[in-house]
Each structure stands twice: as C-alpha cells, then as structure tokens.
Amino acid sequence: MNNLLKMNYIVSIVGRPNVGKSTLFNRLVGRRKAIVHVTSGVTRDRIYGSSEWNGVQFSIIDTGGFSVLTNDVLEKEIKNQIFIAIKESDVILFLIDIKIGILDADIEISKILRKCQKIILLVVNKIDNGKSIYSDTDFFRLGFERYYYISAINGSGTGELLDKLIEIFKQELLKKKENILLENKSIPRFSIVGRPNVGKSTLINSFLNKKHHIVTNISGTTRDSLDVFYKKYECILVDTPGVRKKSKIRDNIEFYSIMRTFKTIEYADVCFLMIDADRGWKKQDMNIFRLVKKNHKGIIILVNKWDLFHKKNVYTQKDYECLIRKKIYPFYNVPIFFISAKNKDGIHKILPMAYDVLKFRNHRLKTNILNKIMLPILKKKPPTPKKKNKFITIKYCTQLPSCTPKFIFFSNFPQYIKESYKRFVENKIRSHFDFIGVPIQIFFRKK
C-alpha cells in the first residue's frame, strides 16, 4: 500500500463537450485546489488537480473546457486532446451523457479509444435518480466492457467508480513489481527534471557512450519513461520522458511535462533540476524545486546552455548562483553546476556529486553533537512567540532514525513558534552540518 501511495497515477476525463467532464472533475477533486492551466491566446483552458480515495492519491485531468470555436476546429481540438490523454494517462474515463444519448461524436471518440492500449472506463453520466432510461446494450455498442453509471452533479455512483480506480491502480502496481530494474532499490536512481527544451535528453545522450550503457525501455508499465542503466556510474538515469515537439501541441507540452515530472521525481533518489541559462530561474522552476523538496529527494541544479549564455556577458556564474540561492533560501546549499549538455562542458562532476548528495541524505547526526552545536545558538536567539507573555525555550533536539533527515526540537510551547523560526533553524543546521542538496524536515514538539 505504501508504494501505491507514492505512485501518483494519472486519470483523464475524456468526452465531447457538455457531457459533464468539468462537473465530474470538480466532484472528484473536491475542495482541494485545482490547478488551472490557462493557455493564453487560445480558446480553452485545461485543469488538473489531485484526488484521494481510501488514502490513495492520484491526479485528475479535465481535458475539456473548450469555449466557442467553429465546429471544425472544435473537432480537431477534441481529437488532439484525446490522443494526448491516451498517451499520458494511466486510466481514461470516457464520459457520455444519458440525457442526450449516444451521438456521432461519442462513437467517433469511442473508435479512437478502442484502438488504444490503455484502461478505459465508460462512464454514463447524468443518471440523477439512479435509473437509466436506456438499456445496457445501448452502451455495449460503444465497445467497452466496463461501464459505470453516475451523476456527476449529485455524486451518486462516483464511490463505486473510485473503488474501481483504486483497484486498477493496485493491479498496475503489481505488474510494475515484476520489473526488476524498477524495483531494484540498491541501484541509485538519478532523474533529470526541468521544463521542456532545457536540454534534458541532450544531457542523457551526452552521458551515454555506446560502450557504457544499456537502454531499457520499460514497456508494459504505465510509466512510459526511458530508464537508462549507466554502467560507468552504476546508476539509473531517468529522463522525464517523451516530450513531443510538434508545435501544434506546444501548450500541451508544458502541461504534460509537469504531470510526468511528478512521476519522475517520485522514482528518484536525487533529481537534477535543469534550467536554461538564458531563461533564468522562473516560477515553474521554483515549482519543480518545491516538488522535489516536498518529496525529500536530493537536488542538484544544472544551469544548461551556458555555452550560449556566457557570451552575452550578463552575469558571471557567481552572480547567477547568488540569484538562485536567494530564491531557494533557506535550502540554499544545493550544488549548482553551469554546463553545456550539448558540448559536454562541465558534466563530468555531476554524477559524482549526485553520489555525495546520496551520502548526505543518509547522514545521521549524533544527538550529543547536534545538541552541543544547536542549543547554544537557539538559546542566544530564542523564538519570538506568536502570543505575548510566553517565553519559549528549546530544550533538546534529535535527528529521527528516518531515511531522510528529520529533526525534532522539543519546546515548552511548540504551538507558538513561528514559521520563520523554522527557517532560521534550518539555516543553522545547514551552516553547521553537511546536508548539501538534501531537503531536511524540522518539527517542534512539546517536551
């Protein structure tokens, strides 16, 4: 089950306009905040969010949200969305509308979906009173064996649908377990993440040299990524897979690359977060950084295409580095490399550093040493309380015996300690101990 929690499966909702995709999406995502992906200048937006059922989390994509377009373009757009959904999702919910019945558009969509290898659940929507006015055979002709009756508006039937989804995820997980490479925990996994076109694939290609690698395209898994065993360093390199470059689906590239990034990060021990030097450190990069941090993976930042950027003479590497470190404070001690993946400049130190980060990630500090260093610092600058008249002290700290660094600080009033103090403590831990490129967690607890 633990593994299942980490998988982050992707479920897409597909169907012609007005069948209730957004309504179902909103119901499944519930009060959790949906991330709205607005592509400026085009007439649609796309939404994804995360959902949870029986403790298992998964991502949901609403492929709909088209506004007024001519019939022709609309058709093309829908098809485009469906093709992408097929490629990128683990499970597809094909929604139809019982009130209207089966239209030509539904049949056309079903033809496309039937040809694909993915798991498809036919979902018959708008059954508000629990009864279908059609007989089952009407839906059978669409060619799907599994179908569900729901009302996206009042929620009936959605529990059963969710149960089914979780069951599917479990089966998929079992399939994956058969894959030795994936499950071989003793081989470190280094993932390369970053926005499309920053140079991730180029870096992998630069690393690989025919003598040294075996490419293993893991088929039969829903992950659809390219894992490469790099013999020279005894590690697996994971590329955020297959970002297509056709311009007509440009806006999709960004979107799905985020979804795939989720997965790629979860599989990694250490992530290389790659940015394009010319573009600089942007909000999207910060989002990926936070994601890596949230997953407690090691991080190394690669500023790529330095071959082009340094000619511009805008920043020195030092200035550039400072800018990034400011943005990622208090997790400032992340290794940053300036490279040219294309020319293979600066790439040789990256993997040895990844091994160092792995080592730091496993670093366990002795309690007496931790206290000896930290307590005087915290005594000198105790937390300023959220509430007046409370004098907060920290009496003792320890690192938990967990697989990533976690620290507990025992205090008389942990509930009154401000968030900013946590950053201060993190900063101090980082400046005294080697946790380079390693996210750490700090907790305040009642003594």
Sign of dihedral through CA atoms 229, 232, 234, 237? negative
Nearest-approach distance from CB 248 to ligand GDP, in angstroms: 17
Nearest-approach distance from CB 334 to ligand GDP, in angstroms: 19
Nearest-approach distance from CB 153 to ligand GDP, in angstroms: 4
Residue 22 annotated as part of some ligand binding site: yes
Q: Binding mask 58-77 vs ligand GDP (x if CB under 6 A, - otherwise)? A: ------x-------------
Packing angle between helix 250-266 and helix 283-294, nearest 10 degrees? 20
Q: Binding mask 223-262 vs ligand GDP (x if CB under 6 A, - otherwise)? A: --------------------x-------------------
Q: What is the CA radius of gyration of the chain?
A: 25
Distance CA 388, CA 380 (A): 19
Q: Which of 9, 10, 14, 21 binds ligand GDP (CB under 6 A)?
A: 21
Sign of dihedral through CA atoms 434, 437, 439, 442? positive
210 dihedral zone (left: phi>0; alpha: psi -120 to 50; beta):
alpha
Sign of dihedral through CA atoms 81, 291, 330, 305? negative
Q: Confirm or reject binding of residue 321 to ligand GDP (CB under 6 A).
A: no
Q: Which of residues 296-315 bind ligand GDP (CB under 6 A)?
A: 304-305, 307-308
Distance CA 243, CA 263 (A): 14
Q: Confirm or reject binding of residue 153 to ligand GDP (CB under 6 A).
A: yes
Identify residue 84 by its one-letter amino acid code.
Answer: I
Nearest-approach distance from CB 44 to ligand GDP, in angstroms: 11
Give the nearer residue to ligand GDP in terms of CB position, either 260 or 293. Answer: 260
53 dihedral zone (left: phi>0; alpha: psi -120 to 50; beta):
beta
What is the size of the binding site for ligand GDP (CB under 6 A)?
A: 31
Distance of CA 6 to the CA centre of its chain: 10
Q: Which of residues 186-205 bind ligand GDP (CB under 6 A)?
A: 194, 196-202
Contacting residues toward ligand GDP, per CB under 6 A: 15, 17-23, 64, 125-126, 128, 151-153, 194, 196-202, 243, 304-305, 307-308, 340-342
Binding site for GTP, residues? 15-22, 62-66, 125-128, 194-201, 239-243, 304-307
